[in-house]
Amino acid sequence: MSKPGSLSLAAYRVLSWGVPHVGNTPIEARPEGELLWIHVDIPERLRAVDDLCQRLRPARPGLSLLLTAPPDTEFEGSAGKDFIRTNLPIENTGAARWFLDHWRPDMGIWVGGGLMPNVITRAEERDIPMVLIEAETDIRTGRGVKWLPDLTRYTIDCFHKVLTTSDETARLIRRLGISSSKVSVAPPLHISPNPTPWPEDELIETNHALAGRPVWLAAWVQDKEFISVLSAHRQALRLLPRLALVLHVADISEAAPLHRRLESMDLRCANWDEGAPIEDTTQVILTSEPEDLGLWYRMSAVTFMGSSLERGAGGRDPLVSTALGSAVIHGPHVSRYQGLYDQLNDAGAACAIRSATELGDAVVELLAPDRAADMALAGWRIVTEGAPHADTLIDMVQENLDRRRADHAGT
């Protein structure tokens, strides 16, 4: 049954009528218990949504999470792999009903635009509480369906709460006829990493071995970047003779050949993976274990995020380093995480370089105590600024699911 008076919606459903085409798509069974459905319109926002999910899961044990993307979008990267991931079916009436019949979500969160009227309005008719965050007003209509008046208004009005990231979008949505009590402005989701704690005794022991020496970390270094990193270290050693470099190689198979190369270059090296001790004369600490980066981020005032100085790798995620108080240096090739690096650079929490010489200069400059502390503080603000908004959303999910559970218990 369409909403009273929504002739545009009724007409749209007739014009977009179709049956679901799911024969070639393997469908995972719906898990038992409560299920939260989160739709992500733009793949780049998946990482931030994944962070919200990671924070939500311990707050509500037993909750299953279903992440969906638009019909023609591929999920990329590792974000969201801990949860059920699938595409929404094509925008027609039969497909929307099939999707909701199969998954039976207890609540839905729609992130961004690309609003699909069939599935959203059908969810509202089934009394599934829905929240629209980072709201946009663009509608993804069925193929061949012409624009209908009021369709945007009826679709957005299905959401119990609408959060926009700007006053301008909030005003636009209110002008559509959406109640002001539904619409508010909130920041976009931010990624707030929660690094795994490190054993205190190992932190103390490693600190003692380094004996107060200045330390910088080059993480996820590709073989094409080895010479640049080592040249930068030699350059920095001229001004900081006790400087230690922790060199983490991206490819574990490169560790042994690199160790031999370091010995031939007359750089005193300790192979951490093989248990070699750090001595007062050690100039390079070689490691290839990703798990140990949690230790080295904590030990290093400055981190060069490798896989960024040469084309090809696209950069590495800088936020764990930032969360653990290490100032970030990076090369120009960070396309996989461009938005994050732009945000850190704008806040003064990261520094971009283009060559080995610039890397060496940046290491010396950023190891100055005041400079490193300022960058670490700026990075910490970036990492933590989204936490209050995430907590508000988690509370909203808890309240809606509690209310739905109580309603069902009373029927």
Reply yes or no on whether the pLDDT at 76 is more than 90: no
The size of the chain, in residues, is 411
Q: State phi, psi for 271 to the nearest 5 degrees.
A: -85, 100
Asked whether residue 338 is domain-assigned, the answer is yes
Residues 83 and 96 in one domain: yes
Asked whether residue 1 is domain-assigned, the answer is no
Of residues 195, 198, 189, the one with CA closest to residue 388: 189
Asked whether residue 134 is domain-assigned, the answer is yes
Residues 129 and 233 in one domain: no
**Which residues is 305 bridged to in the sheet?**
219, 330
pLDDT for position 77 = 64
Q: Which amino acid type is present at position 298?
A: R
SS3 labels along 28-92: CCCCCCCEEEEEECCHHHHHHHHHHHHHHHHHCCCCEEEEEECCCCCCCCCCCCCCEEEECCCCC
Mean pLDDT in residue range 374-383? 88
Reply yes or no on whether the pLDDT at 172 is more than 60: yes
Residues 370 and 398 in one domain: no
Give the gyration radius of the chain's Cα atoms.
26
Rounded Cα gap, residues 16 and 20, in angstroms: 12
Provide long-range contacts, Cβ within 8 A and 24+ apart, for 404-410: 404/106, 404/107, 404/129, 405/34
Asked whether residue 225 is domain-assigned, the answer is yes
Range list of β-strands (E), 241-330: 244-249, 269-271, 284-287, 302-305, 327-330
pTM of the complete model: 0.71
Asked whether residue 204 is domain-assigned, the answer is yes
Reply yes or no on whether the pLDDT at 331 is more than 50: yes
What's 272's DSSP letter?
A: G
Rounded Cα gap, residues 256 and 176, in angstroms: 64
Least confident of 31-45, 104-118, 136-150: 136-150
Three-state DSSP state, 351: strand
Rounded Cα gap, residues 308 and 159, in angstroms: 42
pLDDT for position 315 = 94
Per residue in 246-284, pLDDT tens?
999 999 888 888 888 887 888 899 999 999 999 999 999
Residues 188 and 331 in one domain: no
Reply yes or no on whether the pLDDT at 386 is more than 80: no
Read off the CATH number of the domain in which 371 is found: 3.40.50.2000
Asked whether residue 2 is domain-assigned, the answer is no
Residues 398 and 318 in one domain: no
Higher local confidence (pLDDT), 134 or 255:
134
Residues 144 and 163 in one domain: yes
Higher local confidence (pLDDT), 93 or 219:
219
Under the banding of pLDDT at 50, 70 and 90, the label for residue 296 is: very high
Residues 204 and 319 in one domain: yes
Rounded Cα gap, residues 163 and 184, in angstroms: 5
Residues 350 and 376 in one domain: yes
Per residue in 3-28, pLDDT tens?
544 677 777 777 777 656 554 444 78
Residues 324 and 399 in one domain: no
Show the domain range for 336.
Answer: 200-384
Asked whether residue 356 is domain-assigned, the answer is yes
Asked whether residue 282 is domain-assigned, the answer is yes
Residues 55 and 100 in one domain: yes
Read off the CATH number of the domain in which 86 is found: 3.40.50.11720
Residues 231 and 353 in one domain: yes
Mean pLDDT in residue range 377-383? 87
DSSP 137-185: --B-PPTTPPP-TTHHHHHHTT-SEEEESSHHHHHHHHHTT--GGGEEE
Residues 147 and 216 in one domain: no
For the chain, how many structural domains are there in total?
2
